[in-house]
Structure 1
């Protein structure tokens, strides 16, 4: 008996439809996107970036105020810590004492300068003709007149014609209003900075704790240590710079009062503000004060500039090394670059904040970047470079 071989029945089911293979590269996926949609999203991204840039530009002054207030708070925080540690005063009481002292100093400066400015301007208006006559009767004016001939008389006639023109008087009035509005804006900015400084001093510790919460838990100790190092160094730097500026302001007030400079209190304030900007600030303030002393006589200006030359040498080689020995050492080239960049971005306030920012960057580089690079003793993958 023969066995029949079993034949498999033919499979009449339709063949499965295989999915189209996915593109292998990101470029192939992008090529499949509709060009119109791709361009639309690209244009929206550019528009959002421009909007964010415009917002940051509009808020530039506010950001400078915030940065300046933070660095003032960091600069005053060592004093608060000293009061807490030495006299066992609670932090709230220490903050209140420091704020009261700062407000008293600020009010004292205003009360010392504003009345003198009003008096000097009044004297200038009342004694203007007599001052012109005294200048014309002086020996150096006669020598210049003999040297240049009738140039000075022509210049005086031009000045009289300018003053007698009503349209020019209106322009002068507009300029005075612009200066007044600028002073009012500066006073408003100082008030905002003082208020922000008060809040930052009271909540500085909580701000540090909140900032640490943004860092993973295993890195919080390192981050907190780095924040304390940065804040401490910046605080010491600010206190040291304010001390140098105070020395320059007090000595300027004494010397300029002795030599008979005009408005010595205002010139001392200019010297104080200028000394807050290392290297370039002291020199700039010295030149400004010497030029203002030309109103009295060239000899007074020469004496003032000679004093500032001597003081700058003493500050560079005696005062600054002693006062700033515990602060972060910032190279001179970085000081100049930071001061110029900060001044271009935020004016005087930006220049004042720029130096502590540079000091903070140096600390971060020394504490984070350099140790990370020093720990890399071998190249990735065992490559030795041979």
Structure 2
């Protein structure tokens, strides 16, 4: 349709731009809801391979879903009742150490000793003086208090979001097959079979990736707890929990948890330089074992992505969507590579 009137053309163009802006604003306002949905779909795809395995062993799908849900709920409940009391007890002990740590900060002997231990590369006393000066500023105290309030609100929102994600995950797990069939029906009949085959491969790869990443996190958490208990590191349960949770993040998760654990072991009155050194050596060895033994064997059936693509995908996903983006970036990259390999390249070869 040709628009000859300049006013009509401008009006139609303005309405189009306005509609686009409204849609973008709506997506921005729904970002939290879309994030919840994305996490739930991601988790549902992770549970689907287990449901499919039970179906292949003569379980009807509703029964298989019920078994998986009860199993996951049982595991989470067991971990909560087994680990949570220990974590709460050790956090209480950690908070009780704060006055003692504050008194240590006011003395200069430990700072000079730590400076000497570090070979003089870092003036610990200067760092302590700068932190103390910052905390003595009333304006900074107000900022810290506001930040603490924001943290409390964030924790409350996190609990609410977790409940929503759990409910959505159960719904998507129960209806995943129907949802996939509905999407397949939107594709023309001549291409539907091919599209469905690719869709099943993609969802299966994502599901196996989720299971693999959770398995790696459990390995790190359990082994960390055993190791830290053996060397009598401070707050072993808390540190092992942190290590396991951070291991869910690709690439940087394990090393971030290791740095935190070693730093806690260095705190005067809590750990010791020897404990920190032993922990550092252990995590250096563990990261090599994870990279060359655990990860290849656990992930060999999940996703097949070159190392350079993994790094680029994780960095891009983290920049766009934070932790969630880093989690989903690798399976998305694997899905794109699968589509390119099975669709784009064959089309180009036929030309």
Which of the five TM-score ranges fits, normalised by the shorter chain? 0.7 to 0.9
Q: Which has the larger radius of gyration?
A: 1
CA distance in 1, matches of 2:329, 2:124: 50
Q: CA deviation at 1:99?
A: 1.2
Q: 2:302 matched to which residue of 1?
A: 327
Deviations 1:319-372 (A, max 9, x none): 122112222211222222222222233322222122221121121112211221
Is the counterpart of residue 222 in structure 1 residue 197 in structure 2? no
CA distance in 2, matches of 1:198, 1:57: 26
CA distance in 1, matches of 2:59, 2:18: 53
Is the counterpart of residue 100 in structure 1 residue 70 in structure 2? yes
CA distance in 2, matches of 1:280, 1:132: 31
Contact 2:218 2:244 in 1 (8 A): yes
Q: 1:65 matched to which residue of 2?
A: 36
Is the counterpart of residue 362 in structure 1 residue 344 in structure 2? no
Partner of 1:203, secondary structure, is helix
Deviations 1:68-102 (A, max 9, x none): 2212111111111222222x222111111211222
Q: 1:270 matched to which residue of 2?
A: 242
Is the counterpart of residue 341 in structure 1 residue 316 in structure 2? yes
Unaligned runs of 5+ in 1: 1-25, 377-386
Q: 2:169 matched to which residue of 1?
A: 197
Contact 1:67 1:353 in 2 (8 A): no
> Quick check: 107-116 or 346-355, which moved more?
107-116
Q: 2:15 matched to which residue of 1?
A: 44
Q: 2:261 matched to which residue of 1?
A: 289
CA distance in 1, matches of 2:125, 2:200: 68
CA distance in 2, matches of 1:62, 1:340: 23
Q: How does 1:71-150 map to 2 (within 5 A)?
A: 71-86=42-57, 88-131=58-101, 141-144=111-114
CA distance in 2, matches of 1:271, 1:149: 27
Unaligned runs of 5+ in 2: none
Which of 154, 165, 169 pairs up with 1:182?
154
Q: CA deviation at 1:114?
A: 4.1
CA distance in 2, matches of 1:170, 1:318: 49
Contact 2:112 2:125 in 1 (8 A): no
Q: Aligned pair in 2 of structure 1 residues 133, 103: CA closer, same or farther (>3 Å)?
A: same
Q: How does 1:234-313 map to 2 (within 5 A)?
A: 234-295=206-267, 296-313=271-288
CA distance in 1, matches of 2:312, 2:130: 41
TM-score when normalising by structure 2: 0.85
Partner of 2:266, secondary structure, is helix
Q: 1:35 matched to which residue of 2?
A: 6
Q: How does 1:155-166 map to 2 (within 5 A)?
A: 158=133, 161=136
Q: Aligned pair in 2 of structure 1 residues 206, 136: CA closer, same or farther (>3 Å)?
A: same
> Quick check: 266-275 or 247-256, which moved more?
266-275
Aligned residues: 343
Contact 1:256 1:264 in 2 (8 A): yes
Q: Aligned pair in 2 of structure 1 residues 183, 105: CA closer, same or farther (>3 Å)?
A: farther
- Alpha-carbon RMSD: 3.0
Contact 1:275 1:281 in 2 (8 A): yes
Q: Aligned pair in 2 of structure 1 residues 188, 345: CA closer, same or farther (>3 Å)?
A: farther
Q: Aligned pair in 2 of structure 1 residues 99, 160: CA closer, same or farther (>3 Å)?
A: same
Contact 1:339 1:355 in 2 (8 A): yes
CA distance in 1, matches of 2:75, 2:233: 24
Deviations 1:18-66 (A, max 9, x none): xxxxxxxx9xx55xx2222212221221111111111122222322222
TM-score when normalising by structure 1: 0.78
Runs of 4+ residues deviating >6 angstroms: 134-139, 145-150
Partner of 1:260, secondary structure, is coil
Q: Aligned pair in 2 of structure 1 residues 156, 194: CA closer, same or farther (>3 Å)?
A: closer
Contact 1:145 1:152 in 2 (8 A): no
Q: Aligned pair in 2 of structure 1 residues 150, 204: CA closer, same or farther (>3 Å)?
A: closer
